[in-house]
Structure 1
Amino acid sequence: MGISQTRFVLQNDKKFEKVPFKLINNLIIIPVEINDVSLSFILDTGVSKPIVFSFLHEQDTLQIYNSEAFFLRGLGEGESYEASKSTNNIFKVGNAISLNQDMYAIHDANLNFTSQLGVPVHGIIGFDLFKDFIVEINYSSKHLKLHDPKYYKYKNCKKCETINLEFYNNKPYLNAEVSVNDTKIPVKLLIDSGGSDALWLFEDDDLGLYEGERYFDDFLGKGLSGSVYGKRAKIHKLHLKSFTLKAVNVAYPDSLTVAIAKRFKDRNGSVSGQVLKRFNMVVDYRGARLTLKKNKFFKDDFNYNKSGIEIEHRGELMIKEDVTYSLNALSNRDVNDEARLTPTYKYLIKPAFVIVELRAGSPAAEAGLLKGDVVLQVNKKDTYKFKLQEVVRLFYEKEGDEVTVLVDRNGSVREYRFRLRSPLK
């Protein structure tokens, strides 16, 4: 694996830098400063160069330098994205700095991870951090440590497993085994911390990689080039050396997506955030190894959305809230006197959560909900009072639980009821 001239270094001869992160929908979101502008980026082991989403007109603010037109293509059904390749940018992640950083700026407003995650996301960064540091990722306490390789010393860890890494186009791969349809199959998987699913496998009848009888068709997510669809199922086990995860969610993306993704012909799929978060890990690109240790998430069940609803933050709602003021606060009346209360109101701008995907045959679809409905309440609770992921979590609760959803459909407010049901028949 070649190391480019552009590199991050720790300032003031520090041996490591500790960086807090947010864990949203199994994705790591870290603070990144570009040309003195503070932003939030997804940490993605599967991306080679930093990508900035400049749909919010950050170009002037960021002072994107020395740009030239480019086209980028990723997973999905759409066309390539027009982008600007920019050089000589100053990147900072905590105390780590790169003074001559290349990046791509994408100008399409449709590429917006902020709406999917409910928190600001301005870009993606990966290889350029991992190549210069030994990166310790603590999913339990939600922080990174960027270690200067010159000073890092591995500790003796009897409860850890170390897996050798392979690289193709600056992307890391590991060897694992999956138990599918009672057969143990060796697989080569891309390590994709920028994916929120557990496991993607590419269908291969010769290897025995296929969904079996229990599966459902579903929207798998959005790649750089549009929506990705495929089949979801479960595999019996995923083996990462001595660590074994059971009843693991697996997605089998459609053939078009596989054709794009399989530029590395030996690749059988990806292991992503829903699996990775179950370990605290040390990622060492220079030493080509990954060290894993179980954490508090290891035994969590792998669950599917039992409603069929996918929601995103799309636009805003105007909310009218009652506010009551006590005139006692404005007078010299005795505190024992009865307070005189005057009702007033205030108006707030809050995020609107919109149904963007609806699985055919799901409980929500059968109840009559539609794509485009604005979700106002779930189980009598106003959605605007919660974060997007807190609302989404309600659709993963126990099978059989009743859910009441109040929506606005083109100005008409309607209520729907359904019971959560596993999509796996």
Structure 2
Amino acid sequence: MNNGKSNIHLKILCIFIACSSIIASFEKALAQDFKFNNGRKAQSIPFSLTKNLIIIPIYINEKGPFDFILDTGVNPMIVTDSTLKESLKVPFPRAIKISGYGNFEGVDAFLGATAVKIGDAEAENIPTVFLKDDVLPISGFAGRKIYGLIGYNFFNSFLVKVDYTNKSLRFASHPKKIKLKGEKIPFELIENKPYISLTIEQEGLGTKTIKALVDCGASHAISLEALEGKSFPKPQFTMNANLGNGLTGQVNGHIGRISYLKIGNYLLDDVISNYPEYNIDSLMNKGRNANLGAEILSRFNTIYDYQNRLMYIKKNEKFNRDFEHDMSGIELYTEAGPPSRTIINKIEPQSPADLVGLKVGDEIISINFKKIDDYTLDDIGAAFKAKNGYSIVVEVWRNKSTLIKLLKLKKRI
């Protein structure tokens, strides 16, 4: 089966380094800029888009290509596939501990330097963190093999245009090679990650101006995390949910809605918002309130100008689409093949899937009598949030038997 299927909105949560002083000194000692060595001044390459995540092929130490998520919320580069360190022959990797939100003990990893190539752009001695174990199950939830995440070193080397409309990534070493179209949004770099100011309105809270990390490697719309030193207050109506996966496993919390979100002069109404549960002290957030994800960012074609601390945003054809959450209550996980399998990883209590008797471990064979192989990951996501009250026929394999369930979608938030 095609392993390009998963029903959840993957959240690639920002990872911070527990031993940041080691990383900082390591980065200062190395040349890290990408450059064209063939006379080019600009290049455009296609990218794949899965659950709003930008996936590009890269080469590491002259091997590859390896599919990586391009992520403004990541520094340094992270290799999540634990098998790559040995095959890439990384010299003298240093053992370190890295942490995710709420995890102070950290997990084992290695820090080394690699040579990386994206298109015709090359960089030597890129600081690279290799996770020792497969603690971030990105591939299973993304529905395809993902080897890691790359961000700051690439964005800081070029003027970068992300064209979600045409799934094209253009990067230029000369500013005249990319026309600066769109509304200008200033940002600040904190720990080499871009932060902007947003305005939101939420029931019971009123209107607030907040600071948000710009995180194109997180597929949610917005995650509201902290306000005035406390967890961000929730609206009256929310639902419990698994919000994604980080170094510590599942991140639990709530999903609700805010009345609107304003970025520059663009206004987005009735936006789905996440409210994660973790110790806000672990954010190390420098006044940060939120994480702005790709469900919003993908509604704009965006130019990132790290040297001048500016973004240029121009709305695209996705701008006016409604914000909808999964209406089935199913979370899927794919197992690589051949043959690949699409497995129910979680069922939300009292959801439509729960009420018709679907169970964790069921393998989905077809949806609406169409083989699961014929669906992309985004096709399944769209089917499971198509319309409140819409019926879907789901065929599953359980205990060597085929079962057919009629699932009636329900808008739960």
1:234-257: per-residue Cα shift (whole Å, max 9, x none)?
A: 11111012100111110010133x
User: In structure 2, what is the equivalent of residue 72 of structure 1?
Assistant: 98
Cα distance in 2 for residues equivalent to 1:227 and 1:153: 40
Aligned counterpart in structure 2 of residue 27 of structure 1, from 53, 56, 61: 53
Residues 276 and 152 from structure 1, CA distance in 2 versus in 1: closer, same or farther, beyond 3 angstroms? same
Cα distance in 2 for residues equivalent to 1:15 and 1:61: 32
Q: How does 1:374-393 map to 2 (within 5 A)?
A: 374-393=363-382
1:397-421: per-residue Cα shift (whole Å, max 9, x none)?
A: 1111112222222333322222100
Aligned counterpart in structure 2 of residue 308 of structure 1, from 320, 329, 336: 329
Q: Secondary structure at the match of 1:115?
A: helix
Q: CA deviation at 1:232?
A: 0.5
1:32-63: per-residue Cα shift (whole Å, max 9, x none)?
A: 110122101001111111111233x3334322
Q: How does 1:222-371 map to 2 (within 5 A)?
A: 222-256=245-279, 258-261=280-283, 263-316=284-337, 349-371=338-360
Residues 207 and 59 from structure 1, CA distance in 2 versus in 1: closer, same or farther, beyond 3 angstroms? closer
Deviates more, 1:60-69 or 1:208-217: 208-217
Q: What is the number of equivalent residue pairs in this alignment? A: 385
Q: CA RMSD in A?
A: 2.3
* Percent of pairs with identical residues: 29
Cα distance in 2 for residues equivalent to 1:178 and 1:150: 33
User: In structure 2, what is the equivalent of residue 405 of structure 1?
Assistant: 394
1:131-186: per-residue Cα shift (whole Å, max 9, x none)?
A: 1111111111111111114655754x4xx211111121111100010011172210
Whether the aligned pair in 2 keeps the contact of 1:403 and 1:419 (CA below 8 Å) is yes
Deviates more, 1:399-408 or 1:135-144: 399-408
- Is 1:187 the counterpart of 2:210? The answer is yes
Residues 172 and 221 from structure 1, CA distance in 2 versus in 1: closer, same or farther, beyond 3 angstroms? same
TM-score by length of 1: 0.85
User: Which amino acid in the other structure matches residue 111 of structure 2?
Assistant: K
User: In structure 2, what is the equivalent of residue 114 of structure 1?
Assistant: 139
1:385-408: per-residue Cα shift (whole Å, max 9, x none)?
A: 333332232111111111222222
Cα distance in 2 for residues equivalent to 1:62 and 1:408: 39
User: In structure 2, what is the equivalent of residue 167 of structure 1?
Assistant: 189
Q: CA deviation at 1:379?
A: 1.7
Structure 1 gaps of 5+ residues are 317-348
- Is 1:125 the counterpart of 2:157? The answer is no
Cα distance in 1 for residues equivalent to 2:231 and 2:80: 39
User: In structure 2, what is the equivalent of residue 8 of structure 1?
Assistant: 34
User: Which amino acid in the other structure matches residue 217 of structure 1?
Assistant: N
- Is 1:42 the counterpart of 2:87? The answer is no
Q: CA deviation at 1:204?
A: 3.9
Q: Secondary structure at the match of 2:217?
A: coil
Residues 39 and 153 from structure 1, CA distance in 2 versus in 1: closer, same or farther, beyond 3 angstroms? closer
Whether the aligned pair in 2 keeps the contact of 1:117 and 1:389 (CA below 8 Å) is no
1:61-93: per-residue Cα shift (whole Å, max 9, x none)?
A: 322222121121124769633111112x21000
TM-score by length of 2: 0.87
Higher Cα Rg, which structure:
1
Q: CA deviation at 1:226?
A: 1.7
Residues 350 and 147 from structure 1, CA distance in 2 versus in 1: closer, same or farther, beyond 3 angstroms? same
Cα distance in 2 for residues equivalent to 1:225 and 1:202: 17
Cα distance in 2 for residues equivalent to 1:184 and 1:210: 13
Q: Secondary structure at the match of 1:61?
A: helix
Instruction: With a CA cutoff of 8 Å and minimum separation of 6, indicate the structure with the bigger relative contact order.
Output: 2
User: Which amino acid in the other structure matches residue 270 of structure 2?
Assistant: A
